[in-house]
Amino acid sequence: MLRYLVLATLAVGAYAQAPCSCSAMVTAEIGELILYEVPPVDVQDCNADTECQKTCYNEFDAQTNGGDLNSISSDGTTTVGQSFCNTVQGNIIDRKYVYAYSNLCNTYWQFTGDQSIQPLCCGQSGNYYECP
């Protein structure tokens, strides 16, 4: 009987976890474009909005070196800006800031309050350049 109680407790504890997704987005003429999305992390429950937003804010800050598009990305060779432009090839992005978003329990994306230091500029061929 104790074994079933332990299993039930573990099941409830696992069920109480809630998915928190994080992404970086830019608003383009065709709508919102997701530049990157990290695998969801578990937060306490679907009411942990502040925890999810803080997690995504910190993730964006870490991935972009404080929002600097000219810094080198985690691959060690490509700039953060070029990494973003690689995901939107064929779409010209002209002087658009990159914003960090969170999504708790697969609902809707919320702005975390973090954004890139400089605007993003991507040419037609997907090349990143510093905006004039």
What residue segments make up the domains of the chain, in order of their start?
17-122
Residue 2 pLDDT grade (very low, low, confident, very high; cuts 50, 70, 90): very low
- pLDDT number for residue 106: 93
Average pLDDT over residues 38-48: 92
Extract the tokens encoding 90.
């064929």
Say what the pTM is.
0.83
Sheet containing strand 31-43, strands side by side: 31-43, 18-28, 99-104, 109-115
d(CA 18, CA 109): 15
Per-residue model confidence as pLDDT tens digits over 89-128: 888 899 999 999 999 999 999 999 999 999 999 998 899 9
d(CA 116, CA 42): 25
